[in-house]
Homo-oligomer: A and B are copies of this chain.
Amino acid sequence: MTPIRNVLFIMCDQLRRDYLGCYGHPSIRTPHIDALAARGTRFNRAYVQGPVCGPSRMSTYTGRYVASHGATWNFVPLPVQIPTLGDYMRGAGLRTALVGKSHVLPDIAGLWRLGLDPASGMGALLAEGGFEPFARHDGIVPDAKAELGKPPYNGYLQQQGYDARNAWHEFANAGADKHGQLQTGWKMRNAGLAARVNEEHSETAWVTDEALRFIKEQGESPWCLHLSYVKPHWPYIAPAPYHEAYGPADVVPAARSEAERTQGHPVLRAFQQHVDSQSFARDEVRNTVIPTYMGLVQQIDDHIGRLMKELKALGREDDTLVVFTSDHGDLLGDHWLGEKEMFYESSAAVPLIIVDPRTGSKGKTCNALVESIDLIPTFLDALGAPPEGRWLEGQSLLPTVCGTCTVAREAAFSELDYAYYPAARSLGLDVNQARATMACTDRWKYIDFAGFSPQLFDLQEDPQELLDLGTSASHVATRAEMQARLARWRGGLRSRATMSDHEARLLAERRNTMKDFVIGAW
A contacts, CB < 8 Å to B:
66-73, 75-81, 83, 87, 107, 109-110, 113-116, 122, 126, 142-144, 184, 186-189, 234, 274-280, 282, 285, 338-339, 390, 417, 419-422, 424-425, 430-432, 435, 437, 448, 450, 483, 486-488, 490-499, 501, 504-505, 507-508, 511-512, 516-522
Q: Report how far A280 CA is from B195 CA in the complex, Å.
A: 80
**What is the distance, in angstroms, from A282's C-beta to the closest C-beta of chain B?**
8
Which B residues touch A79, using CB under 8 A? Answer: 81, 497-498
Contact (A520, B338) CB under 8 Å given A498-B70, A508-B424: yes
Which B residues touch A234, using CB under 8 A? Answer: 519-520
Contact (A425, B508) CB under 8 Å given A186-B517, A186-B518, A492-B432: yes
Which B residues touch A494, using CB under 8 A? Answer: 432
Which B residues touch A114, using CB under 8 A? Answer: 80-81, 114, 116, 122, 126
Which B residues touch A422, using CB under 8 A? Answer: 512
Q: Which of A189, A516, A522 has its CB near the most chain B CB atoms (within 10 A)?
A: A522
Which B residues touch A109, using CB under 8 A? Answer: 390, 498
> Smallest CB-CB separation from A484: which chain B residue?
B483
9 A-B Cβ contacts within 8 A? A80-B81, A81-B113, A83-B113, A115-B122, A186-B518, A279-B522, A280-B520, A417-B496, A487-B490
Q: Which of A66, A80, A285, A517 has its CB near the most chain B CB atoms (within 10 A)?
A: A517
> Smallest CB-CB separation from A515: which chain B residue?
B142
**What is the distance, in angstroms, from A239's C-beta to the closest C-beta of chain B?**
20
Stoichiometry, as copies per complex, reads 2
Contact (A522, B486) CB under 8 Å given A81-B79, A419-B508, A511-B420: no
Q: Is the Cβ of A520 less than 8 Å from the Cβ of B339?
A: yes
> Smallest CB-CB separation from A123: which chain B residue?
B115
Q: Is the Cβ of B280 less than 8 Å from the Cβ of A516?
A: no
Q: Is the Cβ of B495 less than 8 Å from the Cβ of A70?
A: yes
> Smallest CB-CB separation from A107: which chain B residue?
B498
Which B residues touch A70, using CB under 8 A? Answer: 495-498
Q: Report how far A498 CA is from B234 CA in the complex, Å.
A: 28
> Smallest CB-CB separation from A68: which chain B residue?
B495
